[in-house]
């Protein structure tokens, strides 16, 4: 197998992530529009996107603020939606842990759904990559996503309500997550966690302040963890037999 340079691997990451522009763009525009309609000025809207850089959490927090939910509910809900980032970090640590501290710090900021999903998939496919090659791919997968998130948020904030409803920008939100989640459902634990989360979100939709999503997410994580525990115990019993 010919040795791949860090430059070629970086551009592989760019190419892999490029299709996500089709959904990241509308998603970011949607946030910019909603933030403007909610009364945020341009500086607040852009600061929100640059500092938080998490679309689902941003929309969740913004909607709760519009609904005048208690501050603690807004914070807990946004943190719960973004709890997956902690799990993403733990999953990436075995691959990127040997990198210098400053590189890991920058990578931590740029962990988004797209960079995580693509990176883990490619790292599993290429266990021979060194740490420099892995970091090159990770930042390559970020390049077509995060800058466009900022740019399209700005476009949405500037255009505001002038974008007609017929554009249906909110289609980008579910499509983004479906594109990321579906290839990751590789085990029974993954599928069980997804199904329990979906069922919980539907059954608990009546709860105020979107708390049903928070509870459904917790139920899904508990289900997945329990399935993993049982699978591990079953393997141990088979090996002892």
Q: What is the pLDDT of residue 12?
A: 96
| Contacting residues for 128 by C-beta, under 8 A, at least 6 apart | 1
Distance CA 114, CA 227 (A): 26
pLDDT digits (tens, 9 = 90+) for 155-213: 988 887 666 665 555 555 565 555 556 655 667 877 888 888 889 888 988 887 667 77
SS3 sequence of 183-199? HHCCCHHHHHHHHHHHH
Contact 99, 89 (CB under 8 A): no
Contact 184, 117 (CB under 8 A): yes
Average per-residue pLDDT in the chain?
Answer: 82
Distance CA 70, CA 55 (A): 21
Residue 4, phi then psi, degrees to nearest 5: -90, 135
Q: What is the pLDDT along the chain (241 residues), one digit of tens a residue?
A: 456 899 999 999 999 999 888 888 888 888 888 888 778 888 988 988 888 887 777 877 777 777 777 778 777 777 777 777 887 888 899 999 999 999 999 999 999 888 888 999 899 999 999 999 999 999 999 999 999 999 999 998 888 766 666 555 555 556 555 555 665 566 787 788 888 888 988 898 888 766 777 788 788 878 888 887 887 777 777 766 6
Q: What is the pLDDT of residue 172?
A: 54
Which own/partner contact pairs does 209-216 have at CB distance under 8 Å and 24+ positions apart?
A: 209/64, 209/67, 209/69, 209/73, 209/77, 210/60, 210/63, 210/64, 210/77, 211/73, 211/77, 213/60, 213/77, 213/80, 213/81, 214/76, 214/77, 214/80
Q: What is the pLDDT of residue 176?
A: 58
Please tell me the pTM assigned to this model.
0.71
Q: What is the pLDDT of residue 1?
A: 47
């Amino acid at each position: 197998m010919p040795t791949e340079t860090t430059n070629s691997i970086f551009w592989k990451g760019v190419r892999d992530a490029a299709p996500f522009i089709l959904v990241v763009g509308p998603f970011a525009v949607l946030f910019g529009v909603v933030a403007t309609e909610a009364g945020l000025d341009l500086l607040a809207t852009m600061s929100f996107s640059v500092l938080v850089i998490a679309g689902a959490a941003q929309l969740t927090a913004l909607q709760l603020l519009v609904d005048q939910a208690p501050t603690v509910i807004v914070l807990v809900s946004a943190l719960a939606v973004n709890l997956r980032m902690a799990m993403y970090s733990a999953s990436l640590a075995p691959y990127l842990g040997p990198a210098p501290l400053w590189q890991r710090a920058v990578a931590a900021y740029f962990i988004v759904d797209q960079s995580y999903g693509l990176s883990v998939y490619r790292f599993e496919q290429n266990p021979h990559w060194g740490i420099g090659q892995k970091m090159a791919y990770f930042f390559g997968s970020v390049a077509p996503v995060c800058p466009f998130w900022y740019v399209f948020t700005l476009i949405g904030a500037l255009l505001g309500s002038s974008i007609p409803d017929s554009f249906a920008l909110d289609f980008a939100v579910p499509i983004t997550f479906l594109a990321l989640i579906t290839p990751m459902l590789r085990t029974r634990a993954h599928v069980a966690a997804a199904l329990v989360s979906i069922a919980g979100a539907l059954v608990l939709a009546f709860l105020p302040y979107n708390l049903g999503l928070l509870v459904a997410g917790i139920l899904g994580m508990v289900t997945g963890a329990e399935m993993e525990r049982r699978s591990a115990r079953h393997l141990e019993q088979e090996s002892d037999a």
